[in-house]
A = this chain, B = another copy of it.
Amino acid sequence: MRLGIDIGGTKTAAVVIGAHGDLSEQVRMPTGFGAEEVIETAVRTVARMAEIAGAGTSVFSSIGIGIPGAVDSESGRVAHAVNLGLEGLDLGPRLADRLGVHVRIENDVKAATLGAHHLLGATHSMAYLNLGTGLAAGIVLDGRLLRGGRGVAGEIGHIPVDPAGEKCGCGQRGCLETLASGSAIARMWPTSAALPARDLFDAAEAGDARAIDVRDRFLTGVAAAARLLALTTDVDSIVIGGGLAALAESLLEGTHRILNGWAAESAFLASLDLAARVQVLPLGFPAAAVGAALVGADQWQKS
């Protein structure tokens, strides 16, 4: 049995993949803040999953963890996970010491990429476009995750697409992330609503002109990210995940509308059939935790 744990900014999710590829129910618990609390969260999650399996920790042939931030999957170190209060933590070695089991660590977007690829049965090439607070992508080619020489493959959120765009936290201007991300929506559509993106889309659907304008700027950024991934890596499918994937049908329809509008003005783009290649990860799909479990297994380690 392979255990996968997705440590998010507020919640930690876990899932077990059985010997025949069967998935357990997804278990969720709150994530602690800071290095020691993150470790305790992981240890508690492992104990809980072992309890559910009615066995000890050794029942897991592998444990994999997806976590935000800069992850060195070789050493198991995670750095710059701001939302978790982690400046730097040797999470893999620390957990292995506590649990007596080897623990693999992967960046959460890369883990979710592997999970989406597995869950969707995408056999060849796929990009996973994560729309969360920020924007980043994971790329699977020939069934393998592309890491790149410095681990920045898929960091398309910081590709500028408008010299007159907003200043980005990375020091550049007009990055894709300034258009198509939760932080972009927070900037363009300030609200006290619990779900700002949902609030924006609802207002747009109700006919609010400014909401329509903001929503379409956001969707144009999403469509631009899809176009960029297609024209660089030519992946067969582009799967949108992350927190904003909860927008579900409205996100998919809106992105398709923008892409089809572009295709109507460019025979070249029309030939790429972009709209047909873009999909949104179904709600509740435990892509990140499943991907973390796959990260824990040796066959996914080559890159």
Residues of A within 8 A of B (CB): 124-125, 139, 141, 146-156, 158-164, 170-172, 224, 227-236, 262, 265-269, 272
Contact = CB atoms under 8 A, between A and B. Distances in A.
A235 B149 contact: yes
B164 A164 contact: yes
Contacts of A269: 158, 170-172
A85 to B, nearest CB: 21
Nearest to A137: B232
Nearest to A171: B266
A266 B155 CA distance: 15
Given A141-B141, A172-B262, A231 B152 contact: yes
Contacts of A146: 141, 233-234
Given A155-B234, A232-B232, 5 more contacts: A139-B232, A149-B236, A155-B231, A160-B224, A171-B269
Contacts of A228: 159, 228, 232
Given A141-B141, A141-B146, A172-B262, A230 B152 contact: yes
A156 B232 contact: yes
Contacts of A171: 265-269
B231 A268 contact: no
B265 A227 contact: no
A175 to B, nearest CB: 10
A92 to B, nearest CB: 22
Contacts of A235: 148-149
Given A171-B268, A172-B262, A265-B172, A234 B125 contact: no
A235 B232 CA distance: 12
Closest 4 CB pairs of A and B: A148-B234, A171-B266, A153-B234, A170-B268
Given A125-B149, A267-B171, A229 B231 contact: no
6 contacts: A124-B149, A125-B148, A149-B234, A159-B231, A170-B269, A229-B232
Nearest to A232: B232
Contacts of A155: 231, 234
